[in-house]
């Protein structure tokens, strides 16, 4: 594994550098840039801008899918789905010192991620999600706990339908990070919702062995 520092418990996922410019300065320390269906000429300046923002604010940047650009631009992290793993040059990413996050939805996919020695493993969807149609049923907290036991100390990222109110439950179940897209990016006030996430996940920024789930953390909004 090649994790450069512990993953922050609040894992923001956005689809443009504009979102990074708005939200990272608020205190976000882990963000994924996930841009779909844009030409390389458009992607390259957005990634460079995202890198500059994250360097300025001491935020970890994860690039989704575009592993060739990650190599070209010297990204620290790349996140790949199961389909992307079939074409990505994992050896080149490793040689470049780029950490690898992998999406999983089933035991077979988990086995693939472990065989690749992924630096973190993402499990989803934990709850029903509005982001996109998925062939998998919600995994739930019990599956999250099972995954955490299977991967031992390897960082586990939970994704799918997680809100600021649900994040403490997810983290208490064993996830190192709770990923969020719609609860912030589709909020009436994304900045206020970002602050809500920072507050909800704050107890998990302490050393994990001293963490106690906050009172009332087992209740959804």
Active site (catalytic) residues? 34, 103, 132
Both tokens of residue 42?
A: 């458009």
CA 18, 74, 105: angle at the middle one, nearest 5? 70
CA–CA distance from 97 to each of 79, 82, 117 (Å)?
14, 21, 13
Q: Are 78 and 67 in contact (CB under 8 A)?
A: yes
Residues 6+ apart with CB under 8 A from 141: 126, 169, 170, 173
Helix or strand run (H / E) with residue 212: none
SS3 of 105-166: the string is CCHHHHHHHHHCCCCEEEECCCCCCCCCCCCCCCCHHHHHHHHHHHHCCCCEEECCCCCCCC
Instruction: Give the DSSP letter of residue 78.
Output: E
């Amino acid at each position: 594994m090649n994790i450069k520092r512990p993953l922050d418990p609040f894992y923001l996922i956005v689809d443009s550098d504009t979102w990074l410019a708005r939200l990272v300065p608020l205190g976000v320390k882990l963000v994924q840039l996930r841009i779909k269906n844009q030409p390389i000429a458009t992607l390259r300046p957005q990634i460079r801008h995202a890198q500059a923002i994250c360097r300025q604010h001491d935020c970890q940047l994860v690039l989704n899918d575009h592993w060739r650009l990650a190599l070209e631009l010297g990204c620290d992290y790349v996140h790949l789905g199961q389909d992307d793993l079939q074409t990505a040059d994992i050896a080149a990413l490793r040689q470049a010192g780029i950490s690898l996050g992998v999406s999983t939805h089933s035991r077979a996919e988990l086995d693939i991620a472990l065989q690749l020695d992924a630096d973190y493993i993402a499990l989803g969807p934990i709850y029903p999600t509005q982001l996109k149609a998925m062939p998998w049923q919600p995994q739930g907290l019990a599956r999250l706990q099972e995954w955490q036991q299977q991967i031992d100390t390897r960082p586990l990222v939970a994704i799918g339908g997680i809100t600021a109110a649900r994040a403490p439950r997810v983290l208490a179940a064993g996830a190192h990070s709770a990923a969020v897209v719609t609860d912030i990016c589709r909020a009436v006030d994304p900045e206020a919702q970002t602050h809500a996430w920072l507050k909800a996940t704050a107890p998990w920024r302490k050393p994990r062995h001293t963490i106690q789930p906050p009172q009332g953390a087992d209740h959804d909004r």
